[in-house]
Structure formats: C-alpha cells, structure tokens
Amino acid sequence: GENVEQHPSTLSVQEGDSAVIKCTYSDSASNYFPWYKQELGKRPQLIIDIRSNVGEKKDQRIAVTLNKTAKHFSLHITETQPEDSAVYFCAPTGGSNYKLTFGKGTLLTVNP
C-alpha cells in the first residue's frame, strides 16, 4: 500500500509569511495529488489538487508543486492569514493505489 509522510507535523508562522508543507509517497503509480484542509471541529475539504502531467498549479494564495521523480509534492501558502490556521492533509492516489490513505497531517498556526 501507499506510505504517505508529511513534514513538518506542526508549523507556526506570522501573519503575512509563507508556509510550505511537503508530502512524500511511495507508490510511483499514483497520479492524483490533492491537499485537504480541516478546520477545528469540521470535516476535511479539498483546497487544491494536481495531476501527474502537471508540475505546478496555483489558485490565488495557494499553490501545489509536484516532483514525480522524487515522489513528493508540496503545498505553498503565501501571505498567510489567521483563517489559514488548520490541519492540512495530503492523500496521493490513483494508478494501482485505490486506497485513500491520508498523511498524518500538518497543524498550521498563523499568529496575528
């Protein structure tokens, strides 16, 4: 099965700074790379995703970059705001991997 690791497990930044979270995976057949955000007391929700034929995707202040050779992808948040404070999960899937396995999550805290 897919082994998924996220780093760091916790991240604290000042409002306005950038934040980067990295996800490494083991299944080279994975072809879909989403990031989910879970606010306190709520459900995980998709915030951005990327497919294996694309190296980078951007949506306003968030972006995802993919390195298929090295088997990792990263979430980038610029100009962080307090409402970005949440737990972020990656869950690479596709190819031979039908098991939707999530990383252990990264707790991001944005200090005003």
Partner 1 sequence: DAGVIQSPRHEVTEMGQEVTLRCKPISGHDYLFWYRQTMMRGLELLIYFNNNVPIDDSGMPEDRFSAKMPNASFSTLKIQPSEPRDSAVYFCASSPPPGQGAAFFGQGTRLTVV
Inter-residue contact 89 to 107 (CB < 8 Å): no
- Shortest spacing between CB 9 and partner 1, in angstroms: 10
Q: Could you give the CA distance from residue 4 to residue 42 in angstroms, rounded to a whole number? A: 22
Which residue, 19 or 105, has its beta carbon nearer to partner 1?
A: 105
The minimum distance between CB 76 and partner 1, in angstroms, equals 19
**Closest CB to partner 1 among residues 1, 82:** 1
Interface residues toward partner 1, by CB under 8 A:
30-32, 34, 36, 42-46, 49, 89, 91, 93-95, 97-102, 104-105
**Smaller CB separation from partner 1, 43 or 69:** 43
Q: Least distance from C-beta 14 to partner 1, angstroms?
A: 26
CB of residue 59 to partner 1, shortest distance in Å: 14
Which token pair is 69? 């050779």
Cβ-based nearer residue to partner 1, 58 or 99: 99
